[in-house]
Chains A and B, each alone.
Chain A
């Protein structure tokens, strides 16, 4: 079981309010991603749940029990840290065994779980090495192994992939997703990378300046961002935002069109511009169109076979029903 409920949880450091009171429900077995730009309070929120920081206000319930004043150890949660936080003086085996040793588990059961975790994580051949002798990806797996063996009610991940190189990151992302499918345990995952959030999450919590901007499934956030911040944050490349006359035409202060919802044509269309940089990835082509008079550049995503080059004059046409409209406060106009 791993149902976590935050009721009016707030955090202040001295006079600085990093997290204003917020409410959040995390269902059992859910994969929840906290995402937001750096300094948005997502890690602090995770540490409040972990018990590594004391809340200034509010209550944290784990499986319906008030855990606000409980020590981290007693909350039954396991955490994977950004720096992996492996114990450098212990072998991989001892690292993984540590939480079980602390729990006073009998040796046979410890060994059984270590073997199982090592097998699942491809660590069997490394059990007697020290963390210093492992690669980044292997260390990450040890950290996960250390978390798994406790059979916690929820896993907490604090930007676990940010120290890995790009190729490894994609692989580990899949492994963590598979792990979730297999264990069906609640996972809370903090990242600043919206791609990780979109690919892994059942539910995404977008945070900005300590406030929750929107909670929803990846698709919900993509299709119906509640405000301009979420609209700009979710999706890659970023949504194009226009203000002024272009927006007024739709009765909004700001409008947003995703790059994939703009058609590009060499002959005719709604807005005229000139191709600046173009990126041809094969599967897709990205064009950064300048001199439209609407925004500095407009990003357009189109089919990989569309071939246009620097300096070409082009016409852009947004897909009308995919235009997002926001009012003066940045909130979505329905």
Chain B
């Protein structure tokens, strides 16, 4: 609303908003600060100015081989997202541009698969993974994460594709474009922003998944979520180390997340709030 607001009121609201925002952000901020402290500093009371040592980061890498879970996270998140896109793009495309009377039902049904609680299928999935040798493999987890997020991916793409006006496709058809031309010159360039947003959100979701990754991995394929969970039983002084590992685990996704605020709303509400 473009309304005249007195400067004092504005400053008042600003202070209130910043205080709330900083309280909410504080745990993350304090973790980043602590990661730059030495272990001794980390436990010697409240202190916002660290000694800026990178010692903890080095320790996490050398003792726990941080690089491996990090790579696993990247492979799982990106891999499952790409896999989901390969399946979802044609499906969302077909439903957006050649809807049938059952399209709505199919979409609702797809959504319903997302409602299935993970524990409901924990037993069979666990046993299947155990018996087929998929346990603790990247490929098994990649496929699983793909299936879990597939409904959201299809839904998001569908809502994006639906925003491409049908008349533009008809215009292309009138202009002599074949289906291939239509896809290559018209639809793809127009759909790319939507696909990119979908990809971004799905990478975030897959990166942060922490039920199946903990259940189905031990060391080989464990991504960061499972790796960090193993810090739950501390040995010795580990506050700074934990903070360093945590900071590295959340930093990439935090930055990606900041860029995807709008898409987040759309993706997580299945287009119900825009």
- In B157-203, the 8 Å CB interface with A consists of 165, 167-168, 170-178, 181, 185-186, 189-190
Q: How far is the CA of A105 from the CA of B176 in the complex (A)?
A: 12
Check if A150 sits within 8 Å of B170, measured CB to CB.
no
Q: Which residues of B contact A (CB under 8 A)?
A: 165, 167-168, 170-178, 181, 185-186, 189-190
Q: How far is the CA of A85 from the CA of B164 in the complex (A)?
A: 10
Interchain nearest-CB distance for B253 vs A (Å): 30
Check if B170 sits within 8 Å of A52, measured CB to CB.
yes
Interface 9-residue window, one of A69-77, A119-127, A305-313 = A69-77
Q: How far is the CA of A83 from the CA of B165 in the complex (A)?
A: 9
Check if A85 sits within 8 Å of B190, measured CB to CB.
no
Q: A87-B186, A98-B185, A102-B181 are in contact. Are A73 and B168 (CB under 8 A)?
A: no
Q: A98-B185, A102-B181 are in contact. Are A85 and B170 (CB under 8 A)?
A: yes
**Nearest 9 pairs of A and B residues by beta carbon:** A99-B175, A85-B171, A102-B176, A73-B176, A85-B167, A89-B189, A79-B174, A81-B167, A72-B173
Q: A82-B167, A83-B165, A85-B165 are in contact. Are A73 and B185 (CB under 8 A)?
A: no
Check if B190 sits within 8 Å of A88, measured CB to CB.
yes
Check if B167 sits within 8 Å of A99, measured CB to CB.
no
Q: How far is the CA of A82 from the CA of B166 in the complex (A)?
A: 12
Q: Which residues of A contact B (CB under 8 A)?
A: 50-52, 71-74, 77-79, 81-83, 85-89, 98-99, 102-103, 146, 150
Check if B165 sits within 8 Å of A71, measured CB to CB.
no
Q: Knowing that A50-B174, A81-B171, A146-B171 touch, tell me 4 more A-B residue pairs with CB under 8 angstroms.
A: A52-B170, A86-B171, A87-B172, A99-B174
Select A102's contact among B165, B167, B175, beta carbons within 8 Å: B175
> How would you classify the secondary structure of chain B's contact residues: helix, strand, loop or mixed?
helix
Q: How far is the CA of A98 from the CA of B176 in the complex (A)?
A: 9
Chain B residues within an 8 Å CB radius of A50? 170, 174
Closest to B173 in A: A72
Chain A residues within an 8 Å CB radius of B185? 87, 98
Q: How far is the CA of A146 from the CA of B178 in the complex (A)?
A: 17
Interchain nearest-CB distance for A27 vs B (Å): 22
A–B complex contacts, Cβ < 8 Å, 10 sampled: A73-B178, A78-B175, A79-B174, A87-B168, A87-B185, A98-B172, A99-B174, A99-B175, A146-B171, A150-B176
Q: How far is the CA of A41 from the CA of B173 in the complex (A)?
A: 22
Chain B residues within an 8 Å CB radius of A86? 168, 171
Q: How far is the CA of A71 from the CA of B181 in the complex (A)?
A: 14
Check if A52 sits within 8 Å of B173, measured CB to CB.
yes
Interchain nearest-CB distance for A47 vs B (Å): 8
Q: How far is the CA of A332 from the CA of B94 in the complex (A)?
A: 50
Q: How far is the CA of A73 from the CA of B170 in the complex (A)?
A: 10
Chain A residues within an 8 Å CB radius of B177? 73, 98, 102
Chain B residues within an 8 Å CB radius of A79? 170-171, 174
Interchain nearest-CB distance for A84 vs B (Å): 8
Chain A residues within an 8 Å CB radius of B178? 73, 102
Q: How far is the CA of A87 from the CA of B189 in the complex (A)?
A: 10
Closest to B175 in A: A99
Q: A87-B186, A89-B190, A98-B185 are in contact. Are A103 and B168 (CB under 8 A)?
A: no
Chain B residues within an 8 Å CB radius of A51? 173
Interchain nearest-CB distance for B60 vs A (Å): 45
Closest to B190 in A: A89
Closest to B171 in A: A85
Check if A52 sits within 8 Å of B174, measured CB to CB.
yes
